Amino acid sequence: MKKLFSLEKLFWAVAVFSSVAFFAWILATKKPPAPVVHWHAPISYEICGEPFSPPERENHGLVHGHGDGRAHIEGRLSEPSNTTLGKFMDAIGVPFSKTQFSKYKNGEKCPGKNRAAKVRVFVDGAENFQFRDLPLRDAENIKITFE
């Protein structure tokens, strides 16, 4: 009597099927590489109505500055949460939160003003309340004020 399947043929059939299934799974679950970006977000600053230029520390990570009034976002953008206004301020070494910008803290008064000043953020002219979590996007104009 002739055998339909030998153990050797069964072994090879299972091995081939498993290999094909494994490589198909790898191809199906492989993430495409993160896009490479080269963005610039213009940032201006005002303290009590006067233009201000905070001192910037040199840093060349994904988010950095060159002292040219722009946030630079250059490299592989694997996680958008890595490109926030807070990450930029950390990169250039400027304290920043909803209650502080540089050495200025909410509640202090501007010279000649009788009211307490506070940190505010504007994106393309509209006030924004995300502060440190504000995502940086190419060509969006950001303005940080204290008044």
Output the pTM of the full model. 0.76
Which tens digits make up the pLDDT trace of 67-107? 889 999 999 888 878 899 999 999 999 999 999 999 999 99
Least confident interval from 19-23, 28-32, 102-106: 28-32
pLDDT at residue number 140: 95
Question: Contact 65/55 with Cβ under 8 angstroms?
Answer: no
pLDDT at 72: 92
| Pairing verdict, β 63-65 and 50-51 | unpaired
- Contact, 136 vs 71, CB < 8 A? yes
Instruction: Transcribe 25-68 into DSSP letters.
Output: HHHHHPPPPPPEEEEEEEEEEEETTEE---------SSEEE-SS
Give Cβ neighbours of residue 122 (< 8 Å, ≥ 6 apart): 128, 142, 143, 144, 145
pLDDT reading at 59 higher than 80: no
Tokens representing residue 81 in the block: 């949460």
pLDDT of residue 4: 60
pLDDT value at residue 2? 59
| Residues contacting 106, CB < 8 A, separation 6+ | 98, 99, 100, 116, 117, 118, 119
**pLDDT category, 113, cuts 50, 70, 90?**
confident
